[in-house]
Amino acid sequence: MTSFDIIHDIPYAMSSLESPIDPLPVNGDKPEEGNAIGDKRPGNASDADNLPTNLYPNITTQNHPNIDQFASSHLINFGTTFLPDLIISATHLSLFTAPSPGSSSPYGRAITDWTSGQMSSLLGHSHPEIVSVIQSHASSLDHLFSGMLSPPVLNLAKRLTSVLPDGLDRAMFLSTGGESNEAAIKMAKTYTGKWEVVGLGASWHGVTAQASSVQYHAGRRGGWPMVPGALMLPSPNAYRCHEGFRRKKNIGNGKENGANRGFGEKGVIEDEQWEYDWEAEMLYGWRLIDQQSCGSLAAVIVEPIQSSGGMHVLPPGYLRRLKTECEKRGMLLIVDEAQTGIGRTGEMIAVNHDGVVPDILTLSKTLGNGLPLSAVVTSHAIAGVCAERDFLFYTTHVNDPLPAAVGDKVLEIVVRDDLVSHARRMGEVLHSGLNQLKKRYACIGDVRGRGLMAGVEIVEDRRKGKEAGLELAKKIGDRAYELGLWCNLSTHPSFGGTFRIAPPITISEEEVRDGLAVLEEAFRGVEGSLPLY
């Protein structure tokens, strides 16, 4: 037994569901018996041997409500367009829709989820060990008074800090990424005694007050002021950098960035003569910030990969220079690893690629494998000073035992099964396949990312330039969804028609290649994709 094995799984039997709820008929009896959800993963929805238990067997495509009509009558729109299918089950990579009337299968069609839900189900949907932890803790240790501690919280704090670099020594556990970023910003202000916070253009940190004030992707307009002191550095975008921040490549570097080499297209060949001077752009941004600042610069908050902004990876050396600039000004560096954390990029946390230790690290999404769990991690020194200065972030669900037990199990599995290395290897397969697609289709302007995070930016015709192909991207995305592959696509201007791909890090090489084959079929079947051979 290790020092982490404090809580043992408790036998659990699923109780009866509530009586049917109109208009969504939930089965009133005990769910149908089905095969245990294990390593044998579902392929086609008609393969009944591999299907998970259907909790909603009375729902078919005939009797389930019109989703648009139901949503407009009963749900608040929070800024999205709902997809047309009703999802009634999910396991590993597969989402299952309601069946047709009279079908012998409990499901309609299977959809391969290449975004891990909301970029969160790191180990896949309904992972059997995660299910077991949820069941046992729901039956015996779910929620406590916020001032009480429990074994899952102690275990998670110890296990998490043990896999992080020195200087990330103490943690607190909250619910969402926005909440953790809110706490981190408040902590930075408490520690420094200052109140100005810098974010990057095209960033996304959440929808709480301070987090949304320092993000510049979306959500800033609505007729109210942001939290005072929010300032912005330019978004580092190597593909669409401003001409003023390009420089001629040295002859000795002529073979660098080989993945961006063209295939006879004039535009790409011209681009290869130049490289992105991110350092000049960053220093220009700092000069503007220094001019605007009231002399109260507290922190910078940054994502290692700007996912919502189009899957842009911070250039090599960027984080290290950013920390240097923070230290010059007495600022803290906050790194938001909501999507990149816990192995997805091929390192436990993405800052390890650059050898940089942030002053404050925030985690969410991946840590809870889809459950609402986030973390704020910092040094002994910062935590101590904040305590002396009465830092307060007391919430209903701070350090709740059930989600903490899930986070602890996620970390245990990631380390035990060496999933960080697996994500690195599968990322190589994924990016190789996506770059092969780029070679074939002139509508793919750029492929970027790291590990099992990838972005595919669609343009009208890269041989002629970089005009965003928003309508074409939507057609390709719609076709892929029809074929059973879900990749997230946003047409927001700061996103630029880029597919975001982030499958669970438990994905196999066969599953990666199967998904690439479906994506290839989607490109092949859409007019305007511009096949080159």
Catalytic residue numbers?
Answer: 204, 303, 336, 339, 365, 500
Contact 512, 433 (CB under 8 A): yes
Helix or strand run (H / E) with residue 298 = strand 297-302
Number of neighbouring beta carbons within 10 Å of residue 312 = 25
User: Which tokens sit at 521?
Assistant: 């079929």
Name residue 83's amino acid: L
CA angle 42, 44, 49 (to 5 degrees): 55
d(CA 388, CA 351): 29
Angle between helices 509-524 and 470-482 (to 10 degrees): 120
Longest dimension (CA), the chain: 73
Q: Any idea what the Cα angle at residue 435 is, between residues 434 and 439, rounded to 5°?
A: 120
442 Rama class: left (phi>0) / alpha (psi -120 to 50) / beta:
alpha
CB 215 within 8 A of CB 205: yes
Are the beta carbons of 182 and 391 closer than 8 angstroms?
Answer: no
Q: How many CA atoms lie within 13 A of 30 on its CB side?
A: 5
Sign of CA dihedral 214, 218, 219, 223: positive
**CA 353 – CA 283 distance, rounded (Å):** 22
Question: Residue 305: enclosing H or E segment and its boundaries?
Answer: strand 305-306
Which residues are paired to 355 by β-bridges? none
